[in-house]
Amino acid sequence: MPPSESQPLARLPVLLAVSCLGTGGALLAGRALLGLRPTLTPDWSTSRLERVWRWSPDPLRRREAALLLAGREEGEGRLAGQGWGPDPLAAVVLKQSALRRAAREGRPAALPLWRQLLRRFPGEAASADALYALGRDQLGARQALLRRFPAHPAALAAALDASAGEPPPHANTLHLARWGPRWPGATEAISALCAEGSLRPASAAQLARGLAEAGDGGGALRCLGQPSPEPARVAALDDASRLVVARALLKGGPEQRRLAAAWLADLVRQRPRAPEAEEAVRLLSEREEPDAVALLNTLPPRWRDSAPARARLASADPSGRAALEVLRRWPRDPASRDLQWEQTRRLLLAGQWEAALATLEALPPELLPPALAARHRFWLGYVQRQLGQEDAAILTWKRLLLHHPGGYYGWRASRRLGLEDLALRRDAKTPANPPPEPPWQPLDSGDAALDALWRLGQPTEAWEAWRVRRGGQPPTTSADLLVEGRLRQAVGDDWTGLAQLERAALRLSPDQCALLPELERSLHPRRHLEAFAPEAQRQGLALPLLLGVAKQESRFTPAVQSSAGAVGLLQLMPATAAELAGAPLTTADLQDPRRNASLGARYLRGLLDQWNGDPLAAVASYNAGPGAVQGWTTPDRQAVPELWVEAIPYPETRLYVKKVLGNAWSYQRERRPAC
């Protein structure tokens, strides 16, 4: 072969290698560029999402844009024709398409879509809605729903809706007691079944636990037998159920508390190594009854020498030496934290600064949850100042503001340092329009599918998927409480969501500081601004103050009604509201956010005027009444306001004042804590 013909063949492998490398490099570069594109979130404008939906070369981004757009507009056009394939998000799309078709054309027209959803995605949470829709005509579908997705809201709704004649007897009510006793209407159904009286012990025990989980200790006791609990029904309670029922009974009257204490003590004596024994000892140690210490002394030795029991015994030692021993021996136990504050508060009110300093130093703030560390640092700084350690006090308060700038103690530290104060009146320079909503934040649940639903503007789907994954089990860790609290907020349940977030804050360990900024943001949502903002302006009140009262009074839940009869966002008593309005008002009137905000703002403004702008006395009066607060008036309210608050004889009002004004400060400052 001539040399001129062999040279190109010799170069062919090199050319192929270069070509392959170039193509691979181009693909990698293209993938890297795709990875640099911003992630689609609910913060994106409609026009920006429209451009992605129409022009993006990436089918995944087009699908995500379509899903975000579908949540803002009626119609299926953007969801159709996207080639969803086996993507789990296709289950959500099919569900939404079925719901829209049913609303537009009637329920029968949507049945093919429900069947398709169930066939293609039988394990996805959205299929529970398909079983619910099909179960209206098919008993088998309804039973499959209860079996496969027992904790899903669709299953709870189906159990509540089902007729009493379906086999097996009472199965639907028992399902509610097991998987959703707090579901609207569940407690009424459970109580009605309990009243029948012909229940097997195991069923009665399950119903009793359900009512106890819903907070109805008296109802739980009635399930176990009247006029006194039946031994067979009580014996049917397992350890976990007995703990739940006892916890509810401890909030009842003297007889219920006595019975709960006896059950808890028996649990600890009979099964001292059971997982529930520790919590039972903690509950017994928190009792204030005169026999509390004697009952603790009847427990097995390992529990008599536990942190909760020793802390309860130490609280009765006036010398404080027993308390210091507990703090040093069990520095990380929750009982030690409670004991430290109980002892510190007693010493502060007595002016025993040296002893207070020793108690505070026995358990440093680095071992406490952030919310309790803020309290610790404030009073440590206060005691240091009283002892002439001015530089140390200033440093302590500055650390407080760095790590926990919000809340009541952040406000008091700022005041003590001569910095910003809490605004009570509306500044003339304050804009009349309410502040904008905070930016969207990722869920960070650790579950990629759940986080994707949240990111794509599907909070209801995320909430339902979360319930299915957890099997209805309540969250216990601070991280899970944060996730579930945010999910509940997103579906409109601020009442439960904010309570869970408060629990998360108290359970947050020092090494979980990274969760604190999102926890603080979620703890202070701005709800019903269309009602509060104009009333704050009309009454000359700072909007953060009004929001702080509403958050503590109702957790921004308009329909809530207290056992004393207070109603609505600002929990107005009907008589007070009628006096303010000049005419009687119905419950429905007081549940209207605008009406309630108007009357509540006027009442709060009147209290501030009555107390010459003193926020502590005004807020205390909102809770306990001006007459009671008048009886607590001492020179300390102006000279040492923090000690005046700690001396309030009503524990509820003492906590209320700190919570409301801490809320208001957090709304005003909006600074996130630093690790």
- Average pLDDT of the residues in 489-515: 93
Higher pLDDT, 480 or 84: 480
**Do the domain assignments include residue 109?**
yes
- Average pLDDT of the residues in 534-557: 96
Q: pLDDT by residue (tens digit) across 324-360?
A: 999 999 999 999 999 999 999 999 999 999 999 999 9
* Whether residue 540 is found in the same domain as residue 663: yes
* Whether residue 556 is found in the same domain as residue 659: yes
Q: How many CB atoms lie within 10 A of CB 239?
A: 16
Distance set, CA 102 to CA 106, 209, 259, 345 (Å): 4, 38, 53, 61
Catalytic residue among 213, 276, 464, 553: 553
* Whether residue 614 is found in the same domain as residue 538: yes
3-state secondary structure 165-226: CCCCCCHHHHHHHHHCCCCCCHHHHHHHHHCCCCCCHHHHHHHHHHHHHCCCHHHHHHHCCC
* Whether residue 83 is found in the same domain as residue 181: no
Domain range enclosing 614: 530-669
Mean pLDDT, the chain, whole residue set: 90
Higher pLDDT, 400 or 33: 400
Q: How much is the pLDDT for 671? A: 80
* Whether residue 514 is found in the same domain as residue 636: no
Asked if residue 580 lies in contact with residue 599, where contact means CB atoms within 8 angstroms, the answer is yes
Q: What pLDDT band is residue 27 in, cutting at 50, 70 and 90?
A: very low
* Whether residue 498 is found in the same domain as residue 587: no
Q: pLDDT by residue (tens digit) across 413-426?
A: 999 999 999 999 88
Q: How much is the pLDDT for 674? A: 76
Q: How many CB atoms lie within 10 A of CB 160?
A: 18
* Whether residue 535 is found in the same domain as residue 649: yes
Asked if residue 470 lies in contact with residue 491, where contact means CB atoms within 8 angstroms, the answer is no
Q: pLDDT by residue (tens digit) across 121-151?
A: 999 999 999 999 998 888 889 999 999 999 9
212 φ, ψ (degrees, to nearest 5): -65, -40
The string of DSSP codes covering 586-632 is: -HHHHHSHHHHHHHHHHHHHHHHHHTTT-HHHHHHHHHH-HHHHHHT
Terminus-to-terminus CA distance in the chain, angstroms? Answer: 77
Give residue 604's identity as a one-letter amino acid code.
L
567 φ, ψ (degrees, to nearest 5): -130, 140
Percent of the chain with pLDDT over 70: 91
Higher pLDDT, 227 or 419: 419
Give residue 485's identity as a one-letter amino acid code.
G
Asked if residue 630 lies in contact with residue 640, where contact means CB atoms within 8 angstroms, the answer is no
Tokens for 200, please give them: 């097997």
- Cα–Cα distance between 600 and 594 in angstroms, integer? 10
583 φ, ψ (degrees, to nearest 5): -165, 155
- Cα–Cα distance between 128 and 154 in angstroms, integer? 6
- Cα–Cα distance between 426 and 436 in angstroms, integer? 18
Tokens for 156, please give them: 């709870």
Is the pLDDT reported for residue 428 higher than 60?
no
Of 523, 551, 575, the residue at which a domain comes to its end is 523
572 φ, ψ (degrees, to nearest 5): -90, 135
Q: Is 337 helix (H, G, I), strand (E, B) or coil?
A: helix
Q: How much is the pLDDT for 636? A: 74
* Whether residue 534 is found in the same domain as residue 651: yes
Q: How much is the pLDDT for 73? A: 62
Q: What pLDDT band is residue 195 in, cutting at 50, 70 and 90?
A: confident
The H or E element that residue 119 is part of is: helix 107-120
**Do the domain assignments include residue 250?**
yes
**Do the domain assignments include residue 39?**
no
Q: Is 484 a catalytic residue?
A: no
Asked if residue 60 lies in contact with residue 456, where contact means CB atoms within 8 angstroms, the answer is no
DSSP structure class, residue 564: T
**Do the domain assignments include residue 364?**
no
The H or E element that residue 148 is part of is: helix 139-148
* Whether residue 479 is found in the same domain as residue 551: no
Q: How much is the pLDDT for 161? A: 86
The string of DSSP codes covering 465-498 is: HHHHHHTTPPP-SHHHHHHHHHHHHHTT-HHHHH
* Whether residue 57 is found in the same domain as residue 141: yes
Q: How much is the pLDDT for 445? A: 94
Of 523, 545, 570, the residue at which a domain comes to its end is 523
**Do the domain assignments include residue 244?**
yes
Number of domains within the chain: 4
Q: pLDDT by residue (tens digit) across 448-496?
A: 999 999 999 999 999 999 999 998 888 999 999 999 999 999 999 999 9
Of 308, 335, 370, the residue at which a domain comes to its end is 308
CA angle (644, 648, 651) in 5-degree steps: 135
Tokens for 119, please give them: 């066939």
- Cα–Cα distance between 288 and 286 in angstroms, integer? 6
Q: How much is the pLDDT for 166? A: 56
CATH number of 628's domain: 1.10.530.10
* Whether residue 573 is found in the same domain as residue 501: no
**Do the domain assignments include residue 8?**
no
Maximal CA-CA distance, the chain: 116
**Do the domain assignments include residue 177?**
yes
Q: How much is the pLDDT for 34? A: 45
Q: How many CB atoms lie within 10 A of CB 351?
A: 10
**Do the domain assignments include residue 327?**
no
Q: What pLDDT band is residue 439 in, cutting at 50, 70 and 90?
A: confident
Q: pLDDT by residue (tens digit) across 308-334?
A: 999 999 998 888 999 999 999 999 999
54: burial class by Cβ within 10 Å (0-12, 13-18, 19+)? exposed
- Cα–Cα distance between 673 and 401 in angstroms, integer? 8
- Average pLDDT of the residues in 579-584: 94
* Whether residue 226 is found in the same domain as residue 194: yes
Give residue 116's identity as a one-letter amino acid code.
Q
DSSP structure class, residue 228: S
